[in-house]
A = this chain, B = another copy of it.
């Protein structure tokens, strides 16, 4: 497991542990049992022990886990301590909120550039970053080498922009659009944030 590919479900659980442990560490909690993690995450203690022991067994029987070591180990698996440069394309209402709201730094990203095609938006500043015109994307990417792009553009614009970004060296996307990138970009890392899916799934659940 240690050097293999970890399933996305395990990754989501690790992400949740990391989050919880960081909150606890910030208020001075130095050690924690799988039972306490279970109470605070809703996963079973045996599930937690299985997840955590698979990555080197840093728990001690009868003592529990050292919070800071666990944070460090999970952080390495999630590559939180690497520096990932991100740009955001499409600074409308959504893009602007995403730029302001996402916890880039805490998860090892830095938002280094914002781009839009509208002249009315370019030149404004969001999160201390100026919004540049999309025509300056090539020059910017060649100089700054962003690894990640966050797409907050209309879905019709995705193929052209994404093709272009991949040519410029972008390796991963946070996709807020309805465009299904898996069809065209099977080998690129994509995380979809799909509001439509959430609305319709909740709609179904309400009828259960």
A residues near B (Cβ < 8 Å) are: 5-6, 8, 11-12, 14-16, 18-19, 40-42, 77-80, 82, 84, 93-94, 96-98, 100-104, 106-109, 147-148, 171-174, 178, 180, 182-183, 189-193, 195-208
Tell me whether B107 and A199 are in contact (CB under 8 A).
Answer: yes
Question: Which residues of B sit under 8 angstroms from A11, Cβ to Cβ?
Answer: 200-201, 204
- Check A103–B196 contact: CB distance below 8 A: yes
Q: How far is the CA of A8 from the CA of B6 in the complex (A)?
A: 22
Contact B189 A202 (CB under 8 A): yes
| Beta-carbon contact of B100 and A203 below 8 Å | no
Known: A94-B97, A173-B202, A174-B199. 13 other contacts (CB 8 A): A5-B208, A11-B201, A11-B204, A12-B197, A15-B197, A19-B196, A42-B183, A78-B200, A102-B199, A109-B199, A189-B205, A191-B201, A193-B195
Question: Which residues from B are CB-within-8-Å of A98?
Answer: 97, 195
What's the least CB distance linking A200 to chain B, in Å? 4
